[in-house]
Chains A and B, each alone.
Chain A
Amino acid sequence: MKQEDVPQQDIGLYQGNRKVMYALDTDGNYVTVASSGWEVEQQVTSAACDEYRRLADEVLTRARAGLASPLEYHMYARRMDVALLAEVAGLCRWRLRRHLHPQVFAKLGPRWYRRYATALGLTMQELTSLPR
């Protein structure tokens, strides 16, 4: 890649930051060039973010109808999935999946709430409620 081919598409993802690319100058020597971003990176990263957002929104709708637990919503809102949250909170996946059921989650003791709240970086209040 030549210096002038380094993408400078000012992508929103970087929020004004810049990333270093190694590229060739006119004499064919490698130099570092600060890039304001490439649309390709923006697109694939947004797609990954949107997927978590989609899952979270879907669960939010179900949770408002009492069909999903706030825990499941917060899990996706924090860009986690069952495998990751189970590892962070330190329990096995099937047990977490059980806790995701709204009835089961509502009956959990405060120790569990504290554990999930710590894992997700939320207060207990936030963990057991849904955003407006």
Chain B
Amino acid sequence: VAPIPPFTQEHEELRGAVRRFVENELYPHANEWEAARWFPNDVFIRMARRRYLGLKFPPEYGGDGDLLADAVLTEELARCGSGGLAAGIGAHIGIALPPIWKFGTEQQKQRYLVPGIKGEKIAALAITEPDTGSDVASIRTTARRTDGGFLVNGSKMFITGGVRADALVTAVKTGAEGGHHGLSFLIIDRGPGVESSALDKLGWHASDTAAITFDDVFVPSENLLGEENQGFYLIMANFQWERLLMALGAVGGMQVAFEKTLEYALDGSPGQAIHHKLAEIALQIEAGRDVTYHALRVYLAGENAVREVTIAKLRTQRTAFEVMDACLQIRGDEPEIARAVRDARLGPIGGGTDEIMKEILGRSLGL
């Protein structure tokens, strides 16, 4: 059976290899890492050895230059048994490194992207603040010009990987007025004045999601990422890819939950109600996959994919939560499925809420 475009037979081979890695080297530790509220940094090193951290990045920085391979990885990582682990990996390669790749200077790429792909230096993207979520234009963390650089003060919230990150790709207010044209990005090294603490969460337990404060942190000018006051474009640039990753992760997560629940059901003698419930789940997964792959095709073709990506994100996140919940209903209180339900609940919130997705779609229709 030919793989559905845009994937090729080569990608299916990679899929098999990634799946073996995930099932043999990550999944067996999921319980332990969830309980510890942490996964070891060694995970990055082991993934880097297999080249998995750099799949989409250019070969000159140690990557493989195949965006689709990264999509395969994302779908398969959803089989690791821990949404927090998948999120922790995705935060580094999927949302923190891409802006450095796209907007960074050669020096910044050598300092952060190259070791990032090797798993030796971990990055996190810091945008959200305690008082600012969906409305990114109103962030308050300030970067004041000072001799040779910036002095940063403020705080960030819900930063995935923010406890362990060596480098924080941070949105700061540089214009006096703030707003869309007063935003910049700084790569902030961990050091004096940077404090992070882990947050307790409903799900994503293995992820070190942090509250971070910056207290008079000096950042050299060379760490300005992209142009000053043009930070809003940097945020927008990666949104589509981040949302595609979320959609792919949801599809992969739903698929594995379905497979396990189906196996459980087939072990017994399911009645018609369970039969239909499982059929509904399978339908929802196929729907999510078809709409996500379509968005991926449009994105890959270099077209404006905002509409397709927004639909894919909106279509898959709430659905993933509902699917996990339906699996839990069939399976009873099985810990792994219960975890999947908790982990999936973030989907309609993170990466732009469902309500924001509807705003984007509605406005694209001229409403």
Decide whether A and B assemble into one complex.
no
Residues of A within 8 A of B (CB): none
Binding site for A on B (CB under 8 A): none
